[in-house]
Amino acid sequence: MNPRPLPRLAIWLVERFLPKADRDAIVGDLIEECALPARASTRPMTALWCWGQVARSIPLLLWSHHRHRDWLGTLGVAIAAYVVTSVIEALGVAVLSRLLRPDAGFALVLAAIVGLGSMMLGGYAAASIRQGAAPALATIILLVVLVLFVTMPNSVPLWYGLTFLIAGPVAAVAGGWLNLIRRAHRPA
Amino acid sequence: MPRGDLLGSLEHIVLLALVRLQANAYGMTIRREIEERTGRNLSIGAVYATLDRLESKGYVSSSLGAPTAARGGRAKRLFRIETDGSQALDASQDAIRKMTVGLPKGWRTA
């Protein structure tokens, strides 16, 4: 029985996203099943089946893992990352306000760049401590910005608030992705 | 097993697959056994999520097998049913049997 090669990206996703306890066994199971005569029809069909399995399995196992084991830890890491992100952002804005006139539009643009940069950094740091913490951080950012939008609608220009509402969570997730990519290219 | 803690349908089916497969019960064989017998095309993730849940309840235990070339050098995670799992399975089977006793013919299609 020769193992039929599975799509490399699918294996990469399983190895990056699934808990350690399951990932090797699951990749091995997929390789073994794809090599069975009943399953190994044509290469595209095998790849399609494998992708179906991976797409259905990752969300389930991630949910199961976080629900049963360490969702509290993941939330703790995300909250800590949010605190650090806020401190970095506040320091950056304080420095900018000393250097530029606070009412200048340019100062707000720079403040947004500093804020989004710190959120990306927060996502990166959170993912380096615990996979899954970056999406949790993104959720926290989204909730906080929404609350600020509702409770203090006129404290900042609309474009500024919308930027953080949309790009803030995206920056945190992007930071997490950067961490995953760095891990993938790190020698074993 | 505490009273009232009956197995979910997938837990029930997975435990029955473990009983059938005995020493050869691991993710791929369990998934295929269920597919062949019930026609349910489960994802491997659903099988592992169920097994992890059963393991956290103490109903099954797992151990790693040796890596093989047929699996791209990856080890199998072998599962076996524990005494608590057997009792839970018996209790669930018993509950279903009791609930179906005396039902009129054709109740499935009614």
How many Å lie between the alpha carbon of B97 and the closest alpha carbon of chain A?
30
Q: Does B37 touch chain A (CB under 8 A)?
A: no
Contacts of A66 (CB under 8 A, 6+ apart): A74, A132
Instruction: Provide the pLDDT confidence category of residue A64 given band limits of 50, 70 and 90.
Output: confident
How many Å lie between the alpha carbon of B60 and the closest alpha carbon of chain A?
15
pLDDT at A41: 66
Q: Does residue A4 carry a pLDDT above 60?
A: no
Instruction: Provide the pLDDT confidence category of residue A67 given band limits of 50, 70 and 90.
Output: low
ipTM over 0.90: no
Minimum mean pLDDT among A68-72, A165-169, B95-99: which range? A68-72
Does A32 contact B70 at a Cβ distance shorter than 8 Å? yes
Task: Please tell me the pTM assigned to this model.
Answer: 0.60
**Where does B1-110 show beta strands of DSSP type E?**
60-64, 77-81
Buried b (16+ CB within 10 A) or exposed e, A2-23: ebbebbeebbebbeebbbebbb
* Residue predicted with more confidence, A157 or A105: A157
pLDDT at A104: 66
- With a pLDDT cut of 90, the percent of chain A lying above it is 24
Chain A interface residues facing chain B, Cβ-Cβ under 8 Å?
A: 1, 3, 21-22, 24-33, 35, 52-53, 56-61, 63-65, 68
Pairing of strands B60-64, B77-81: antiparallel
A154, burial (CB in 10 Å: exposed 0-12, middle 13-18, buried 19+): exposed
CA-closest candidate to residue A61, choices A7, A13, A22: A22
pLDDT at A155: 78
pLDDT at B43: 92
Q: Which residue has the tokens 């837990």?
A: B11
Q: State chain A's mean pLDDT as an integer.
A: 82
pLDDT single digits (tens) A17-63: 777 777 889 989 988 888 776 665 677 777 888 888 888 888 888 77
> Cα B8 to the chain's mean position, in Å?
10
> What is the residue-level pLDDT of chain B in tens, covering all 110 positions?
544 568 999 999 999 999 999 999 999 999 999 999 999 989 999 999 999 889 989 999 999 988 888 888 889 999 999 999 999 999 999 998 998 888 887 776 54
